[in-house]
Amino acid sequence: MRLGINLRPDKGYSKLLHNILNILLPLLLLLLVRMNFIQLAFSLVVLSKWRMVAVKPRFWLTNIRANAIDMIVGVSVVIFLVQSSSLPFQILFSGLYIAWLIFLKPASSLLATSSQAIIGQFVGLTALYLAWVNGPLYGLVLTTGVICYFGAHHFFDGYDEPYAKLLSYIWAYFGAALAWLLAHWLLYYKFIAQPTLILFVISFGLGLLYHLDHNKKLNRSLRNQIIFSAVAIIAIILFLSSWGSQVV
């Protein structure tokens, strides 16, 4: 069950205005990046979430946690725009961000919140490893853990999991530990880092197992199939590290 303040208008002219602003935000980010106002673009993403703190201070932490995935996606889009020198790709990223803001972000079904969590984690980690190539290792490890924490917490929020905080900390620790281990020999498959791919596969597999178990649809055969598939995909990812990847 989600706690905190509802930051989305639900109907009428308020919803129309909200959607127009959601369309304008990615376009403004694209314009600012093209004009090389990078810091202003990042600031605009943060300022777009001003309603999180337009409440009593006791709600701030809850609202920040509830909107963290959206913030991660917004910051990641700016990083993608900066990293890409091609206008068509920048337009593509802006269009995908519009789709996120208009269609996926407002949705509150179990499938939607799970998708938000895994997409937010994947996009956030992809952007992080693009931007932090030459950054200090401790910062990369810490930020990986933070992104994994918010991704897991967003996922468990949809299931009203009583141990959501504990499970989120465990996943954050695992993500940080994996980042520390693999960052000493960081590999990229095109623009996606190896830790990002591995964490995506593991989180998707664990999330699917949790969802099936939560709905009483998990049996031994299905569990073994999911585990075997995840292990096989990770094995392929590790095998591919011997060719076709870039070492940083």
The tokens for 161 are 């999991």
List C-alpha distances in Å: 101 to 18, 29, 31, 55.
10, 14, 18, 22
pLDDT at 1: 44
- 2 φψ region: left (φ > 0), alpha (ψ -120 to 50), beta (else): beta
Query: Residue 46 pLDDT > 60, yes or no?
Result: yes
Backbone angles phi, psi at 139, to 5 degrees: -70, -40
What lies within 8 Å, CB to CB, of 183 at 6+ separation is: 137, 140, 141, 195
- What is the C-alpha to C-alpha distance for residues 104 and 157, in angstroms, rounded to an integer? 16
CA dihedral 213, 219, 221, 222 (to 10 degrees): -30
pLDDT at 93: 98
pLDDT at 4: 45
Domain extents in the chain? 1-106, 118-248
Instruction: Please write the tens of the pLDDT for every residue from 102-127.
Output: 999 999 999 999 999 999 999 999 99
Find the farthest-apart pair of alpha carbons in the chain and give their distance in angstroms, rounded. Answer: 56
Per the CB < 8 A criterion, the answer to whether 125 and 144 are in contact is yes
Per the CB < 8 A criterion, the answer to whether 126 and 196 are in contact is yes
Per the CB < 8 A criterion, the answer to whether 80 and 131 are in contact is no
Residue 5: pLDDT band (50, 70, 90) is: very low
For the whole model, what pTM was predicted? 0.91
**What's the half-sphere exposure (Cβ side, CA atoms, 13 Å) at 121?**
32
**Closest C-alpha among 80, 185, 147 to residue 155:** 147
Instruction: Please write the tens of the pLDDT for every residue from 215-235.
Output: 999 999 999 999 999 999 999
Average pLDDT over all residues of the chain? 91
Backbone angles phi, psi at 188, to 5 degrees: -125, 135
Q: Over pLDDT 90: what percentage of the chain?
A: 74
Instruction: Please write the tens of the pLDDT for every residue from 191-223.
Output: 899 999 999 999 999 999 999 999 999 999 999
β-strand 187-189 against 192-193: which pairing, if any?
A: antiparallel
Q: What number is the average pLDDT over the span 35-59?
A: 90
Helices (H), ranges, the chain: 12-34, 38-47, 60-66, 68-83, 87-99, 110-131, 137-157, 164-182, 194-214, 220-240
pLDDT at 3: 43
- What is the C-alpha to C-alpha distance for residues 23 and 76, in angstroms, rounded to an integer? 17
